[in-house]
Amino acid sequence: MRVWRAAPPLTPTLSRTREREFWPRCSESISCLAGPAKCGGATDVSRGWFVTGTDTGVGKTLASCALLHALRAAHPRCIGMKPVAAGTDTQGHNEDVLALRAASNVAVPATLDNPVLLAEPLSPHIAAARAGRSIEIKAIVRAYGELASQADAVVVEGAGGFLVPLSPNETGADLAAALGLPVILVVGLRLGCLNHALLTRDAIQARGLRLAGWIANRIDPTMAEQEANLAYLREQLGAPLLADWPWQPGAETRGLRLLQLPD
């Protein structure tokens, strides 16, 4: 079982009115990641974030848990949500869902923090079809609303990459747009990540969503010119770098400094 540790709290930059409304004890919160509320009516963006990645396996769960722990340093009710999870162990558990629950400090029914749990580790639209199920975005948005009513903050971890198919006609991007939350992008630093990161940023912005920040996760220790790639992303993504995680196989995450805003 991984051990998650909160980062030093960040300084909020919400307007004072919004800050008092949603973050009554906000002097040391990370609400700065959300920015001023911009709600499309479906959800309350001032206290939720959608975490996505340039691909599957780039560290979205790590980022989501780190964000939850940082929020818990200032707020009593923080919940992680994995709307769609594909792949379970012999006991019917999904590793990502369990990690998010361990990082949360409010227990909720599984139908709320993980509305869609699929047994096979496949693309969600394929796993759902093979299980005879459908993934309904409206139902997920309702579950998020229930969580938001019970929490000061909700961190939503998407499945796979931003455009992962959820059905023949809908993707993870459609879910993110329906939720209307600011997005945090986890970039797995490896060959090809520049293209993946810029395409994902464009897809986020094309849906009217705000890229609240990004995290560099050095998942390939053999990647050449890592610093040059990181510098390019700093210049091009147009959002703050929240963390730069080194390659540390098998290391507990308590030694990592998470969710750092640039100076």
Residues belonging to the active site:
82
Sequence-separated (6 or more) residues with CB below 8 Å from residue 115: 83, 84, 139, 140, 143
With both helix axes pointing from N to C terminus, report the angle between 172-179 and 193-206 in degrees, rounded to the nearest 10.
50
Q: Give the span between the Cα atoms of 29 and 32, in whole angstroms.
A: 8
Q: Give the span between the Cα atoms of 110 and 162, in whole angstroms.
A: 23
Asked if 157 contacts 79 with a C-beta cutoff of 8 angstroms, the reply is no
Q: Give the span between the Cα atoms of 146 and 114, in whole angstroms.
A: 12
Please count the residues of the chain: 263
